[in-house]
Amino acid sequence: MDITRRQFIGGAAATIATMATGMPLGAAAANPTIKYGGSAWLGHYPAYLAMTNGYLKEMQLEQEWQSFGTSSSRMSAVMAGGIDIACTGVVSALALMARGAKQFSIIAIPENFGRVEGLFVKGGVKNIAELKGKKIGVTFASSAHLLVLDLIAKAGLKADDITVLNVPAPELPAAFQAGQIDAAAAWTPQFDLIRKQPGVTLLADDTQFSLYKSFNVTPGPDVLIVRKAFAESNATAVKSYLTAYFKATALLRDHPAEAAKPLMKLTNLGEADQVGAVKGADWYSREQQAGLLKGQYVEGLQKLAELLVAHKQIDKAPAVKDWIDPSFI
Amino acid sequence: MTDMKNATNGKNDSMISIQGISKHYGDFEALQHVDLNIRQGEFVVLLGASGCGKSTLLNLVTGFDRPTSGRIVVNGREVTKVEPQCGMVFQQYALFPWLNVLDNVAFGLKMKGISKTERHATARRFIEMVGLKGFEDKYPSALSGGMRQRVSIARVLANDPDVILLDEPFAALDAMTRQVLQDELLQIYEKSKKTIIFITHSIDEALLLSTRMLIMSARPGRVVTDIVNDLPMPRNAQVQLSPRYNELKSQIWDTVQAEVMRSMQATSH
Amino acid sequence: MSSKSPSRGALLVTSATSVLIFLLIWETACRSGLVDPIFLPPPSAILGKAIAMGNEGTLLANILASARRVMIGFLAATAVAIPLGILLGTSVFGRAAFNPILSFLRPLPSMSWIPLSLLWFGITETQKYSIVFMGTFAPALVYVIEATRNIDPLLIRAAQNLGASRWNVMKEVILPGSLPQILSGLKVILGLAWTCVISAELVAAREGLGFLIMNGKEFFQTEVVVLGMVLISVTVLITDLCFRAIENRVLRWQK
């Protein structure tokens, strides 16, 4: 699960230079390059837009975009020092936090995407109990996975009552269409592709997640993280990054059609679908960050960690607030 | 001393009829126009230096190879493919290492479709005949060279071929084993009355075993001398020390000597 | 000075000691903080995880799932490769006809077959077997053809001379004669089959050692990842030993 975030990082590029591949040490204050880990997931829209619409350049920053297929591979790159800023599904971050990894901090919450992730069914299935004995395809260790587990638990079924299969996101549409699985849980852009298939209905989306009503937390909310070593030597750059970043979220919130155009190159969605995807999320502003990073939302993330423990996805729940760093907002 | 008088007699009871056989490998003339008749029950020894075509001739008789020209008829049937009517005993034994002695000897019978009990019984008889009773369960890797050769002979015998061909079968064995096996072979010959063609380098071996000796020469390969061996059987020590033995030996010696010299000159460049 | 070659007991003790020392160094390196456990967990953590999973019953289930996939795919590949290989080994025309296909198939890694196999077999166990099959079939075939062609031609001649037909030569001479070389080649292929299973379990699996490793990686449970690797090694070792036992039985005739 990726969340696109943009963080403005100003200041010395020296730290980046030592970590980067062949960056000259002399490229000091002028246009430091931030290595961002992204993908076609909507959480990365702000970071992408900040790059394509020149907001980063305005803040004298350059961004190098690297694509990752999974959250875990992205987080591994962060741990190894190859990525400086990334939006990530909090589940991967929580898994690392549960292991006591101190290499990164959470610096912003980009959006809330309750309606672009969900469970699809065919043939007029009305509730999840009808899927007993059938196969659900979902990418394991993702927010969609947790949604499925949560839905099954809420329906009072046992884990073994339904066969949950690990299917990588890009394979889901084809597998579902071919009837190899009876239900598919996906996020955008596969979400949009599956919705278009004939006879398909959306059984539930993230708004049905048990923590959503009380904490407004989806099964795998996005968080924007920064590599601590990078942030310590480039604090100004990080702040500048966030400025450009939230300029992009403002565009996404207020002018979705305009924001959609450059994004189509990232996602390969058609224009209508792209606008729909943009509108499917609530884009937060810079002003909202203070409230999010300190209050109920963090508590919701903590509950999420506990839920993961309950579903045996991670071993223990870390104290989420220990990783939150609101100093850059 | 090219004496073919005995060879061309009795085309009627001929077991092996070699007619105008030539074999070329490119430019190399392995055999040039060999005409030969071997009668049933003869023990023919092919004598000669290396490269004179002895093995080639044997391979043509068994059908392992095709002649460039001419034809071979064995027991009334022309040789067109490999057939068990000419059983071959190889110098390297060629025993199947994954089969024990009993199954090795019974192999040809299995190929004929004979039932297990029957072919095992037959095989045991021949194993006993070559003096290997008690070794039926052993594998070839556990046997000495001499024993392996006996198994090889038993294997061919069990198949009851019309002709038995042996290509220097005892060359790899020590002198004492060789002597024992030569004796055994003679006994088997006397009992079974099979037609045998035997290849050797050794004049003494030829004199000991044969009823007829064909001396061959190389480049091109052909039969130079055809001599009848009239020494009496059994060829005991007395016979081997007799004047007739020496007479025959000296008769052959010069011819063989000359051929060996010729081939050595031809190969030494 | 008598030159005594070391006893088997002495060698065994040496091996065991070196393993123990290695484990000790590893454990201390992790405990002392020299190595971050996320990057490499200590042996004690791995053992702990193994025991926990053993109590849950998931340990054996995962091992058996992978082992089943390996065995079925491997046996299927062998069942086709041995007769086909013997046939091709004896036929020059057969080889000429088959070589282009073989050259094309051989270098393809098993992972490259995943997309096609999903289309053909869907998300089923058959799809997993097919990955193992496709990864091992071509190399196994090459081994068998090689082994067939290495048969002493004299044995074939002897068999023909004893009345064996073309079919009998294949069944009674070439098959048993090439068996030693085939079996030693198959040991290698079995190891190959295990690497195929790992890539097969990347998609649409719920259990298995490859799945264990992938899933552990997703949640940064490195001790699960290493445990998976250890289990694969151990399982291959055990199957290797079984293979040797079979070899010794079948190849009794070799000294």
Domain that holds residue B101: 91-160
Q: What is the pLDDT of residue B3?
A: 43
The CATH number of whichever domain residue C99 belongs to comes to 1.10.3720.10
Provide the H-helix boundaries in C201-221.
209-218
Distances in whole angstroms, Cα of residue A299 to Cα of each of A36, A293, A294, A295, B190 = 27, 10, 9, 7, 107
Nearest to B111 among C168, C176, C179 (CB): C168
Q: Which two tokens stand for residue A77?
A: 């790159």
Q: Are residues B174 and B266 in the same domain?
A: yes
Contact B159 C164 (CB under 8 A): no
Let me know if residue C85 belongs to a domain. Answer: yes
Q: Are residues B65 and B121 in the same domain?
A: no
Q: Which two tokens stand for residue C237?
A: 């070792």
d(CA A199, CA C200): 31
Distances in whole angstroms, Cα of residue B35 to Cα of each of A313, B217, C35 = 91, 14, 88
∠A174-A175-A177 over CA atoms, to 5°? 65
Q: Tell me the shortest Cα–Cα distance from C243 to chain B, in angstroms.
A: 19
End-to-end CA gap in chain B? 29
Contact by Cβ (8 Å): C90, C170: yes
Contact A140 C218 (CB under 8 A): yes
Q: Report chain A residues whose CB lies below 8 A from the CB of C123.
A: 135, 137, 165, 167, 175, 180-181
Q: Are residues B262 and B196 in the same domain?
A: yes
Q: What is the pLDDT of residue B152?
A: 94
Give, for C251, the enclosing helix (H) or strand (E): none
Q: What is the pLDDT of residue A202?
A: 92
Query: What is the average pLDDT score of chain B?
Result: 86
Q: Chain A to chain C, count of Cβ pairs less than 8 Å apart?
A: 72
The structural domains of chain A, ordered by start, are: 14-113+221-328 (3.40.190.10), 117-215 (3.40.190.10)
d(CA A47, CA A245): 6
Contact by Cβ (8 Å): A244, A153: no
Q: Report chain C residues whose CB lies below 8 A from the CB of A72.
A: 217-220
Contact A99 C118 (CB under 8 A): no
Q: Is A139 on the interface with C (CB under 8 A)?
A: no
Q: Tell me the shortest Cα–Cα distance from C28 to chain A, in angstroms.
A: 19
Domain that holds residue C74: 43-250
List the single best residue of A70, A140, A161 to mutate versus C (max C Cβ within 10 A): A140
Average pLDDT over residues B71-93: 88
Q: What is the pLDDT of residue A169?
A: 85
Q: Tell me the shortest Cα–Cα distance from A181 to chain C, in angstroms.
A: 8
Q: What is the pLDDT of residue A48?
A: 94
Contact B107 C162 (CB under 8 A): yes
Q: Report chain A residues whose CB lies below 8 A from the CB of C211.
A: 166
Nearest to B98 among C168, C177, C255 (CB): C177
Q: Is B86 on the interface with C (CB under 8 A)?
A: yes
Q: Is C40 on the interface with A (CB under 8 A)?
A: no
Contact by Cβ (8 Å): A237, A17: no
Radius of gyration of the CA atoms of chain A, in A: 19
Contact C220 A96 (CB under 8 A): yes
**pLDDT tens digits, one per residue of C51-69:** 988 888 888 899 999 999 9
Q: Report chain C residues whose CB lies below 8 A from the CB of B61.
A: none
Q: Is B24 on the interface with C (CB under 8 A)?
A: no
Interface of C with A in 79-98 (CB under 8 A): none
Let me know if residue C197 belongs to a domain. Answer: yes
% residues pLDDT > 90 (chain C) = 50
Distances in whole angstroms, Cα of residue C244 to Cα of each of C83, C88, C240 = 22, 27, 6
Nearest to B159 among C154, C163, C173 (CB): C163
∠B239-B240-B241 over CA atoms, to 5°? 90
**Among B160, B180, B203, residue at a domain's last position:** B160
Contact by Cβ (8 Å): B151, B93: yes
Q: Is B64 on the interface with C (CB under 8 A)?
A: yes
Q: Is A137 on the interface with C (CB under 8 A)?
A: yes
pLDDT for C255 beyond 80: no
Burial class (CB in 10 A: 0-12, 13-18, 19+), C10: exposed
Let me know if residue C112 belongs to a domain. Answer: yes
Contact A95 C37 (CB under 8 A): no
Contact by Cβ (8 Å): A315, C221: yes
A10 torsion bin: left (phi>0), alpha (psi -120 to 50), beta (else): beta
**Cβ-based neighbours of C37, under 8 Å, separated by 6 or more:** A99, A100, C30, C45, C222, C223
Nearest to C254 among B64, B108, B141 (CB): B141
Contact A135 C221 (CB under 8 A): no
Please report the ipTM that was assigned to this predicted complex. Answer: 0.84
Q: Is B107 on the interface with C (CB under 8 A)?
A: yes
pLDDT for B6 beyond 80: no
User: What residues pair up with A105 in beta bridges, in sequence order?
Assistant: A226
What is the 3-class SS of chain A, one letter each residue?
A: CECCCCCCCCCCCHHHHHHCCCCCCCCCCCCCEEEEEECCCHHHHHHHHHHHCCHHHHCCCEEEEEECCCHHHHHHHHHHCCCCEEEEEHHHHHHHHHCCCCCEEEEECCEECCCCEEEEEECCCCCHHHHCCCEEEECCCCHHHHHHHHHHHHCCCCHHHCEEEECCHHHHHHHHHCCCCCEEEEECCHHHHHHCCCCEEEEEEHHHCCCHHHHCCCCCCEEEEEEHHHHHHCHHHHHHHHHHHHHHHHHHHHCHHHHHHHHHHHHCCCHHHHHHHHHCCEECCHHHHHHHHHCHHHHHHHHHHHHHHHCCCCCCCCCHHHHECHHHC
* Count of the separate structural domains present in chain B: 2
Let me know if residue C231 belongs to a domain. Answer: yes
Q: Are residues B182 and B252 in the same domain?
A: yes
Q: Tokens 């027991």 sit at which residue? A: B75
Q: Tell me the shortest Cα–Cα distance from C148 to chain B, in angstroms.
A: 15
Q: What is the pLDDT of residue C149?
A: 92
pLDDT per position in chain A (329 positions), as tens?
A: 443 444 444 444 444 544 554 444 444 445 678 999 999 888 999 999 999 999 998 888 999 999 998 888 899 999 999 999 999 988 889 989 988 889 999 999 998 887 788 999 998 888 888 888 899 999 887 889 999 999 998 888 887 888 888 888 888 998 899 888 899 999 888 888 899 999 999 999 888 888 888 888 888 889 999 999 999 988 889 999 999 999 999 999 999 999 999 999 998 888 888 898 888 888 999 998 888 888 888 888 899 999 889 888 888 899 998 999 888 87
**Among B133, B160, B187, residue at a domain's last position:** B160
Q: What is the pLDDT of residue B201?
A: 85
Q: What is the pLDDT of residue A8?
A: 41
Distances in whole angstroms, Cα of residue B17 to Cα of each of B43, B165, B192, C14 = 15, 15, 21, 72
Q: Report chain B residues whose CB lies below 8 A from the CB of C159.
A: 96, 107, 111
Q: What is the pLDDT of residue B75?
A: 87
Indicate the pairing of strand B14-25 with strand B28-39: antiparallel
Contact by Cβ (8 Å): A88, A71: yes
Q: Is B65 on the interface with C (CB under 8 A)?
A: no
Q: Write the DSSP symbol of residue C148.
A: H
Contact A167 C38 (CB under 8 A): no
Contact B159 C172 (CB under 8 A): no
Q: What is the pLDDT of residue A31?
A: 64
d(CA B152, CA B97): 12
Q: Is C116 on the interface with A (CB under 8 A)?
A: no
Q: What is the pLDDT of residue A50?
A: 92
Q: Are residues B57 and B175 in the same domain?
A: yes
Q: Write the DSSP symbol of residue C90.
A: H
Contact B96 C173 (CB under 8 A): yes
Q: Are residues B17 and B68 in the same domain?
A: yes
Let me know if residue C8 belongs to a domain. Answer: no
Let me know if residue C221 belongs to a domain. Answer: yes
d(CA A58, CA A131): 52
What is the 3-class SS of A187-215, one letter each residue?
A: ECCHHHHHHCCCCEEEEEEHHHCCCHHHH
Chain A and chain B touch, per 3+ beta carbon pairs within 8 A: no
C194 phi and psi, to 5 degrees?
Answer: -65, -40
Most confident of C31-45, C178-192, C206-220, C241-255: C178-192
Indicate the pairing of strand B69-74 with strand B14-25: antiparallel
Q: Is C129 on the interface with A (CB under 8 A)?
A: no
What angle in degrees, to the nearest 10, is found between the helix axes of B116-129 and B145-158?
Answer: 130
Q: Write the DSSP symbol of residue C151.
A: S
Average pLDDT over residues B134-158: 92
Q: Are residues B22 and B56 in the same domain?
A: yes
Q: What is the pLDDT of residue B254?
A: 83
Q: Are residues B149 and B268 in the same domain?
A: no
Q: Tell me the shortest Cα–Cα distance from C230 to chain A, in angstroms.
A: 21
**Among B160, B177, B198, residue at a domain's last position:** B160
Distances in whole angstroms, Cα of residue A108 to Cα of each of A5, A290, A323, B178, C131 = 8, 9, 11, 96, 43
**pLDDT tens digits, one per residue of B30-48:** 888 888 999 999 999 998 8
Q: Which two tokens stand for residue C141?
A: 């075939």
**Cβ-based neighbours of A251, under 8 Å, separated by 6 or more:** A49, A53, A258, A259
Quote the pTM value.
0.75
Chains touching B (at least 3 CB pairs under 8 A) are C
The CATH number of whichever domain residue B235 belongs to comes to 3.40.50.300
User: What residues pair up with B46 in beta bridges, in sequence order?
Assistant: B199, B214
Q: How many CB atoms lie within 10 A of CB B193?
A: 10
Contact by Cβ (8 Å): B30, B200: no
Nearest to B98 among C152, C162, C253 (CB): C253
d(CA C29, CA C44): 12
For A160, the closest chain C residue by CA position comes to C206
pLDDT for B63 beyond 60: yes
Burial class (CB in 10 A: 0-12, 13-18, 19+), B232: exposed
Q: What is the pLDDT of residue B261?
A: 77
Amino acid at C131: I
Q: Tell me the shortest Cα–Cα distance from A187 to chain C, in angstroms.
A: 18
* Count of the separate structural domains present in chain C: 1
Q: What is the pLDDT of residue A28?
A: 44
Contact B94 C177 (CB under 8 A): no
End-to-end CA gap in chain A? 23
